Structure 1
Amino acid sequence: MWSFLAKLGGTLLGKIIPDRSKTNEAQSRINEAEVAGGPASRLRLWRSFLGWVLSLLFAWEVVGRLIIIPMFFPGFGKTLPPSALDQIMALLMGMLGLGW
């Protein structure tokens, strides 16, 4: 009796809560098929390049301009052009899909 109830409960639980490993394997196969069937695109290279450039600019604005320049070159910070962090953040967040 108890084994029947345990088996029935396991079956019902399996229907309600799907197995994540099976779902991940299926999604992985779908992703591989999409990449394999897609043509080599210049757009992928362009997005990668833009992502690296925006990431480097973000690092410069946050680490270089706000930390390194004032600590080691205090007089040089006054001659720098105004910060473009707002524009860089808007582009970077939009590219990452975290924008508005």
Structure 2
Amino acid sequence: MWSLIGKLLGGVGGMVGRIIPDRNRQNEAQSRINEAEVSGAPASLMRLWRSFLGWVLALLFCWEVVGRMVIVPLFFARWGENLPPSALDQIMALLLGMLGLGF
């Protein structure tokens, strides 16, 4: 009786394992993809565009948080009225995604 229940639950567990992907295998596959991407491109080019993008996003983040929300209202109030809408949502999505913390 107990062996039959164990076999049934074991079969259900196997089906659930096939339906729900294993995070460790996904991470290993992503690691292999990243290694293949880096090995196929010139090392300097791969480092350059990522660091450039990181610096640009960091500067945009500083502008949106410090410049736009603090400095402009304090010192340039009339100039702040004509600024376009904030793009902080898009900048944060890109920056956190690049750091591996976002979407």
TM beyond 0.5? yes
Q: CA RMSD in A?
A: 1.7
- Secondary structure at the residue paired with 2:77? coil
Number of residue pairs matched by the alignment: 64
Separation in 2, partners of 1:52, 1:67 = 21
Give 1:75's match in structure 2, choosing from 68, 78, 92: 78
TM-score normalised over the length of structure 2: 0.58
The code of the aligned residue for 2:80 comes to G
- How far apart are 1:41 and its partner, in Å? 3.5
- How far apart are 1:55 and its partner, in Å? 0.1
Q: Who is 1:93 aligned against?
A: 96
Separation in 2, partners of 1:87, 1:54 = 10
Give 2:56's match in structure 1, choosing from 53, 56, 66: 53
Q: Which aligned segments of 4 or more residues in structure 1 are displaced greater than 4 angstroms?
A: none
Q: Who is 2:66 aligned against?
A: 63
Separation in 2, partners of 1:80, 1:98 = 29
Separation in 1, partners of 2:80, 2:72 = 6
The code of the aligned residue for 1:42 comes to L
Query: Percent identity among equivalent residues?
Result: 75
The code of the aligned residue for 1:76 comes to W
Structure number with greater Rg is 1
Structure 1 residue ranges without an equivalent (≥5): 1-37
